Structure formats: C-alpha cells, structure tokens
Structure 1
Amino acid sequence: MTHVAIIGGGPGGYEAALVAAQLGAQVTLVDSDGIGGSAVLTDCVPSKTLIATAEVMADLEVADELGITVHDAEGDVAKRTTVDLGKVNRRVLSLARAQSHDIAERLDRDGIRRVAGRGRLDGTRSVVATLDDGSEERIEADTVLVATGAAPRTLPTAQPDGERILTWEQVYDLEERPEHLIVVGSGVTGAEFAGAYNALGLEVTLVSSRDRVLPGEDPDAAEVLEEVFKRRGMTVLGKSRMASVTRDGDRVTVALEDGREVVGSHCLLALGSVPNTADMGLEEAGVTLGKGGFIEVDRVSRTSVQGVYAAGDCTGVFMLASVAAMQGRIAMWHALGDAVSPLDLSIVSSNVFTAPEIATVGCSQKAVDEGEIEVEQVMLPLATNARAKMQGVQEGFVKMFCRPGTGIVVGGVVVAPRASELIHALSIAVAEKLTVDDLALTFTVYPSMSGSVAEAARRLHHVR
C-alpha cells in the first residue's frame, strides 16, 4: 500500500487526503493549526461570516425605496439598527470551529490518520512531526505533499499587537466596536474588511498605495466599488503609501510617506501574505523556493524533488481556497496514477466579497487592453435588469468577452449582489468553450439577475 504523508490541514491538505484515501493509499496528515487551516479558522469562513452580517446592514440602504422604515425621524439608520460586534465575532468563531469539526470527522470516517504537530521534511521521503509535548514522530512515506499555507505579512514599521493594531486573523477577538478603523491595503482583503466594517456602521479610512482600490481587479468593477465606498461615507486615500503604524494608548497613528498622518482607534493591516515555508527542511531536501519563499511547482503540483508535491498558498500560484483544493487533488491523482488534467488557471473563477460583489473568470480587461488577446466585448449595466430594479440594486454590470469569429466565451466579470453565484454560468461557458449563442439560447428565469448574462450574450450574437 502506498503511504502518503501530508503536511498541513487546510484545503490543499485535507482535500488531497480525501482523494488519496479514496484511491486506496494509507494517509497520514500532520497539522499544527487546526483542521481546515486558515481558510476555515482565520480567513475565508470567518471573514465571509462577518461579511454576511454586513450584507444585511448594506441591504438596509434601500429599505426606504422598498417601503420599509428602519430609521428615526432624522433618517439615522444606526439609531434604530445596531450591531453587537462581540456577538457577531462569537458567531464567526463558532461557525469556523463547527466547520473545522465537520471536516475532521470526514477525515476520520475515511480512515485518515491525523497527527497534531508541526511537520517538516527530513530528506525527501520522511516527515518529522514535532508534537505538542515536544516529542517527535517520524513518518516514512512514498509521497509527500506540503500544504502549509501562508500567514499575514507584516513590516518592521507596522507590527500588530493584537489589540489595536491587527492582522485579519486577529480582528475576531474584538468585543467592542472600533470608533475609527484604519485599513491599510486596498487589495481584496483590505477592500472586503473595509467594506464590511463600513456597512456595520464604523467610521473607516482605507489607505491605498495605488491610485484606486482593488488594483489587481477589473478596472470598471473597481471604479464602481470605490464610488460605492465613498457614497457610504468611507474615506478612501489613494496614492497614499504607509510608512509606519504606531500606538499611543487607545490611539493608533498611520504615518504616510508624504508626511500626512491618519489617527484612529484601531488599524487593520492588509499587506498581503508570506508563505509558511521557513524551517521546514525544504531547501535541505532539494525543494526549490522562488521569490518570497514560495514553493515552485508545475501544473500537476510537483516540486523540484521527485515524490514531493506542494499545494495551496505556500506555492503562491493563485491564493484561493478553491485553487489550493484543486492543487491538492491533482497532486494525489498524479502521484497515485489516476487520470489527471493539469491545473488550468484560465478557467478559475474568483470573487471579491464586497457589496456589491465582484466576480471574474477567464481573460481580464488588462490582458485585452495590453493586446494579449483579441476579443469582442460588451458591458451591460444592471440598471436595465427588472429584478435588479425590484431589489433596489443601484450599481453593477455584466461584462462578457468572446473570441472574434467563433464567439467562444473566454471571460467575464459580474458586479452585483451574489455575483459569486452569477459567475457560475460564465465559468461553465469558459471551461467548456461554449459560444455566446450557446448562452443566449439557454432559458433564464424572468425576472432574474442571470437574465443579464443571457442578454449580454445576445448582444454578442454572431450572424451565421
């Protein structure tokens, strides 16, 4: 029987373990942070649970339009609708623990041995686990998968203290509402937390070193979101690079490189991630680490060492839980001789959980603008969608890209409530190389937001 040793219990690790067990391997999973990893315990599940509460508050913005009164005579929503942040965070952590427990039970049912400890390579086919009591256990394996994830990036001039200066893993310990939260970093994590806390009624300042929020996302989508942030009262400081973050009692000061200062009660650092690859024996075993310490892998998750695979955020390939899980599955399919298709990033869908959400798949506007791919495109505002009008949706659009001549769908962007659900039709179209006419001829419910996907396809119709 083939023995597989996996280091790390996040999506890349636990999904790989399930596949390996399904294929008849003996599996040992070594994990030090809790089953589910950061995705379940400190990142995706907690943050999206927090955002779910924020979405309810954001929906109240159009309550009057829908005939619902939720404010006092002066029009102040907060006086009638308040948020107990401590209660919210307790629910967040409870759900995260429950999800972790469910995954652990599934691993146990499938016969996967779990070892609580910090794993490292010792050679190419041995994993040494340092257990909680300081003792060590050596695990000999035919195949090793490293799926140790990543941690929040900090700077010498911006060190979290867990009380007033926080990483996104520490915000769930807050019991009281911050008076003024400064979010440093306007990428996906920064934008999501800034939007959520703003919707929960906090004063929020978003510090962005770039000229707009979400610099890595579709520019039209980012423009819509920044306008929404400002309309909802958020202060957005563009082209404002952070120099340092300091604390004096209950005050936090973010100094900018141009000499300005922003003073608040709390600061959330959203500065990116660093891989958990240090002191793991990787380089000693011959595993090649690239820029920033990320493990270099090919499209079937192989490292530079035969029999050693890697998956998830520690590879830096595409830091999404869905990609980590797929990398882990692919690694086991390849290692254990099952049919396997290499990872294809061109069909990965992703979502920014703001209000409105921003979902994307396939080719990007940047690739189109830079001439990397020739497409025909259309952008259809949701303002013309009947369901959007009924729900009081004020912003959003569907954008679709197709190849000239063939009409094959190669990408799309959806900015809307629940865009993470609406993108699925476009994801299937991109993955299966469907044409705009295939989408246009598929029935959609009327009225529905998805009707705009079909309408965008109709506008790209190719006369035969």
Structure 2
Amino acid sequence: MITRETTVVIIGGGPGGYEAALVGAQLGASVTIIEKLGVGGAAVLTDCVPSKALIATADYMSDFEVAAGLGVHLTDHAGSVVEDAVAEPQTVNERILELAEAQSADIHRNLEQAGVRIIKGVGRVTARDRVVAETDDGPEELAADVVLVATGATPRVLPSAVPDGERILTWQQIYALTDLPERIVVIGSGVTGAELAQAFLGLGSEVVLVSSRDRVLPGEDADAATVIEDVFRKRGMEVLGRSRAAGVERTDGGIVVTLEDGRTVEGSHALLAVGAVPATRGLGLEDVGVELTDSGHITVDRVSRTSVPGIYAAGDCTGVLPLASVAAMQGRIAMWHALGDAVAPLNVRGVAATIFTEPEIATVGIGQVAADEAHDVESVTLPLARNPRAKMQGITDGFVKLFCRKGYGTVLGGVVVAPKASELIHPVALAVQNRLSVDQVASTITVYPSLSGSIAEAARQLHQSE
C-alpha cells in the first residue's frame, strides 16, 4: 500500500515526466516534478505541438489548391478569382506559441489538481535517493524513494553550422521568425527535416532539402518515401540527394551552405534537422552509477529501470523510440512498477508512428525490410487513387499496405500514406496489437465510401484460403 510518505522525484516535465507524475499521484505517492522550461517540456513548448501546428497551417494552404482542382475558387469583392493564399508568419507563429502555452497550462493545472508539486529549475541526481533542484532561489535537496529521469533530447548541431536564431536555425527557433523565409535550405531529410520542409513549402517559401542519402526519409518504408519525394518535387521543392552538408555560413543577405563535394547552396535561411542528442549531461547520472550508452542515452529495461535500483528513465533520453506516446507509456510503466501496481512491460509491437508530411506516412508493426527478410510474410499494396472517397476528395497520392503471416493470416504490420494517415492507422494498430487475422479485419464492415475501406479491401486480398 503506497502512502504519501513514498516520495517520487521526476526530472523533466515532458510527456514521460508528467504522465508518470499523474500515475504516481493516483497511486498515493508524494510527487515532485522539476522542469526548467515549463510543464509539457520541449514536446509541448518547442517541438512536437508547435511543429504539428505549423504543418496543419500549411495543410490549409494546400487545401486551396485541391479545391481549385475540384472547381471551387475564392473570389474578392469585385468577383475576381483569388489565385493565391498568403500566410502571415508572425500571426501564424504567435498563434502557435499561444496554443503551446495553453496546452502547457492545461497540463500544469491537471498536475496541481492531482497534488503534484512543480519546481521550476534544473534537477541533478546526487545519490540513489537524493535529487538537488537548482532554482532561481537557490538549490533545494529532495529525498526520493523513486527517481525518474525524463529529460528528453535537444537538437543536434554541427560545429561548422552554429545556430544564431536569425538565419541559421534549429527547429526550436523557427517560431521567432516574423517574416516567411524567402528561400530556406533544410539540412537533413529525416522525419523532422521532411516535415518542416513540407511546412515551409506549403506556406510559400522556396525550399531546398539537402539529403545525405539516396532518398528522403531513409529510415522509412521505401515505397512511402518515394511517394513523398515525388510529391515534394512535383510541388516545386528542390531535393538534393546524396548531398552532405559540410558547413553553413552567414552572408550579407542570407546564408550559404557548403556541401562536402564543394558545391554551394545559397538561401535566406538554413534549418538544421540533423537529429537530436539526449539531454543527459550534467545530471550526475554517471556519478551514481547509471549506465549510459556511447551516444549518451540512458540504458533501461522494458519496465523503465536503469542500472541503479530506484532510478528509472523514460522518453527520448533513453533512445527507445523518439515518440511522445512511447515516452508517456514508459513514464506510466515506471510508476506502476516502482509503486508496486500491476504492470506489463513495454511492448513496441503495436506502437503506431506518423510522419506529418502531406500526405502523411503512418506505420505500425513490421515493415517492408523485415517482410522481405522473412519467408512466411506476404503483403498487398493498394493505391489510394482507386478509392472512391479519395477520388471525391481529389486525392491522387498514397496507398495502403498490409503485412500478414502466411497460412495464418495474422496481421503483422501496415503502412498508410494518405491525408490524415495518423487517424487511418488505428484499425491496423488494433489488429497488430491484438493479433487479429486479415479475415477478421476484412469481415468488419466499413463505411462506404471511406478511405478506411481500402484497409478492409487490402485485408480481403490477403485472405488465407484453406
């Protein structure tokens, strides 16, 4: 039985931290969060929430183009057709930051109502059962029966491309812009680079995407990445494949990016999207025996335990999966385990992930590479353009792909490339998580017409005959 004498100290107030705090309070512990930015952490204030809000704004811009193809046009008061929608960057960014602050305030209120104490400052582990909070009012030592480290990660920067917050930017600095970049060079074609390149393209910037690999989104389904790159090029983005940036310098009117092969790319702004590094330095972890990987990530097991009893970790600082949903689950699991509640180890098999490009890419379970390496997996891919609802909505790019076990029909994974694929992937995630068969998916009646009908159709095509 947990009592208020059981103390939990959480370093970091992002998804892993605040979700853990709510569980700890629910189970009766005395919980304190130490957070330097604000509750919600970088995920809410500078990363996930703001970036997806920016992307959603760009999506509205593209809706005007789609509407024109469907025969719908805006006209001005004189009846003339309005050709272009125009974004107001300062207004857009002000709204985004207000939204992020509002979300942080909502989380703060929930935590206070649950009885969680919130300290604004920086936490440091000084012993297995001691944490020091460095605040504006000086240090405060906290006793802790349980410590959870949920400090996240920060943008990786290059020594030859130092962000200045004006022309050379990380993804956390773009919301300070008052004018739309005329020509922005995005360095890095992973998830963050691809998402923000698409966002600025949709808002009206010229965009150059510098990719060190053969294609954009090199870690994703190859078919999906090809669709996205084709869409990027079709909409006017300049994609430089097999082009690694060597450095970025300011010029009188903008920036110049030097590539390793000697070529240069000029622009008004540069956006660095070359990955993230775990925020684990200076926390005192090594001093108390917490094991870190060579990359600086905290080593944890499937119930979020570190190598030191009583110290847990969750989120991007662990390197398990860089998703807010996974961070939140790691934090909950840590509290359930530490406080003696029923708990199941983290299972990433059914974790769905989305890349918020346009169209979106949503995935769950195994992918094409794993399927190609296995002898007992088959798949089917259905172009979305054949779907009647897609035709009605002017959708021409995208597909649904399902993987199943031969002979059994068990759904093993799926890929959806479509507008709002983040919503469409859920039935596939349910099937993967609960080991449903393709026949069970196919026998569930879908709305007609609907994009989800393509998921049922793919399942029907994978029917396992006796």
Shorter chain as denominator, the TM-score bin is over 0.9
Report the equivalent of 1:407. 409
Report the equivalent of 2:22. 18
Are 2:159 and 1:129 equivalent residues in the alignment?
no
CA distance in 2, matches of 1:179, 1:79: 19
CA distance in 1, matches of 2:24, 2:274: 35
CA distance in 2, matches of 1:132, 1:174: 29
Helix, strand or coil: the match of 1:359? Answer: strand
CA distance in 2, matches of 1:288, 1:373: 38
Kindly provide the amino acid, as one letter, of the partner of residue 60 in structure 1: F
CA contact (8 A) 2:305 2:312 kept: yes
CA distance in 2, matches of 1:145, 1:78: 54
1:29-428 alignment runs, 5 A limit: 29-70=33-74, 80-133=84-137, 135-369=138-372, 371-372=373-374, 374-428=376-430
Report the equivalent of 1:435. 437
Give the 3 Å change call, closer, same or farther, for CA 71–368 of structure 1 in structure 2.
Answer: farther
TM-score by length of 1: 0.97
Helix, strand or coil: the match of 1:405? Answer: coil
CA contact (8 A) 2:371 2:403 kept: no
The alpha carbon displacement at 1:71 in A equals 8.7
The alpha carbon displacement at 1:249 in A equals 2.5
CA contact (8 A) 1:414 1:423 kept: yes
CA RMSD of aligned residues (A): 1.4
The number of residues matched between the two structures is 459
CA contact (8 A) 1:383 1:396 kept: yes
CA distance in 2, matches of 1:252, 1:406: 56
CA distance in 2, matches of 1:376, 1:77: 50
Give the 3 Å change call, closer, same or farther, for CA 78–200 of structure 1 in structure 2.
Answer: farther
Moved more, 50-59 or 161-170: 50-59
CA contact (8 A) 1:63 1:70 kept: no
CA distance in 2, matches of 1:283, 1:27: 24
The alpha carbon displacement at 1:231 in A equals 0.2
Kindly provide the amino acid, as one letter, of the partner of residue 452 in structure 2: S
The alpha carbon displacement at 1:443 in A equals 1.0
Kindly provide the amino acid, as one letter, of the partner of residue 108 in structure 1: E
Give the 3 Å change call, closer, same or farther, for CA 373–300 of structure 1 in structure 2.
Answer: farther
CA distance in 1, matches of 2:310, 2:347: 22
The alpha carbon displacement at 1:77 in A equals 9.6
CA contact (8 A) 1:164 1:250 kept: no
User: Which consecutive aligned stretches of 4+ in structure 1 deviate over 3 angstroms post-superposition?
Assistant: 76-80
CA contact (8 A) 1:70 1:80 kept: no
CA distance in 2, matches of 1:78, 1:375: 51
- Gapped regions of structure 2 (runs ≥ 5): none
Q: Percent of aligned pairs with the same residue?
A: 62
Moved more, 423-432 or 243-252: 243-252
The alpha carbon displacement at 1:65 in A equals 2.3
Select the residue among 459, 462, 465 that pairs with 1:460. Answer: 462
